[in-house]
Amino acid sequence: MAIRFYMHVHVPAAITSALRRRGIDVLTSQEDGTREASDDELLSRAASLNRVLVSQDTDLLRIAHQWQSTGRPFPGVIFAHQQGMSIG
């Protein structure tokens, strides 16, 4: 099964476009109507869609850790530091 991504609002559109050009299934929070959602809501939405959340937000790491600590399931989080994100 291919990994499907859910892009946080702050991930640059160029990253999303480049992934799509490579045939990767990507949904942005803007496209999904969750642009104003909290990080917890975004992780919940990504989980409900069975998508890995891609973010540059360090607060999301704390939330994901809390979810893991309590056994709350989610497909995953990819954290990319704002200064070091590249897809090659």
pLDDT tens digit string along 28-83?
999 999 989 999 999 999 999 999 999 998 899 999 999 999 999 999 999 987 66
Per-residue HEC secondary structure of the chain comes to CCCCEEECCCCCHHHHHHHHHCCCCEEEHHHHCCCCCCHHHHHHHHHHCCCEEEECCHHHHHHHHHHHHCCCCCCCEEECCCCCCCCC
Q: pLDDT at position 54, please?
A: 96
Q: Tell me the CA distances in angstroms from 65 to 22, 77, 83, one per residue in order.
A: 30, 10, 23
Domain boundaries, the chain: 5-79
pLDDT tens digit string along 5-20?
999 998 999 999 999 9
